[in-house]
Amino acid sequence: MYEQIKENIRQAVMSGELKNNELLPSVRQLAAQLSVSAITVKRAYSDLEHEGIIYTSPGKGTFVRAPDKSAVMEQYKQRRLAEFSQYADKMLSEGITPEELIGAIKNITEGK
């Protein structure tokens, strides 16, 4: 669930829906809105802060730090490529040939 929270906030920042220095809901408020544990929201906020997408000002709240979009997109691509690499390794170890994997990728990309 915390991954979904992170992804939603990240997308809102990238699309401009959330602006630089915009106040985000408190951990407790967002947890109540989403009916999740405050720990889940705290973890999402912590990860986003580590990525430089938000920042916390003690006593004031958590705010959007609209980062350089190209840097965020590069981090996103690297993370997704690493995930794909792990999944591809698993498929190869389960008997899917490199040619089948490449063929599947071509089929997917040709349809877009």
Q: What mean pLDDT do residues 33-62 have?
A: 94
Q: What mean pLDDT do residues 49-72 have?
A: 86
Higher pLDDT, 111 or 90: 90
pTM of the model: 0.63
pLDDT at res. 14: 81
The answer to whether 10 and 48 are in contact (CB under 8 A) is: yes
The answer to whether 56 and 49 are in contact (CB under 8 A) is: yes
pLDDT per residue as tens digits for the range 9-42: 988 988 889 998 999 999 999 999 999 999 999 9
C-alpha span between 52 and 66 (Å, rounded): 8
What architecture (CATH level 2) is domain 2-64? Orthogonal Bundle (1.10)
pLDDT at res. 76: 79
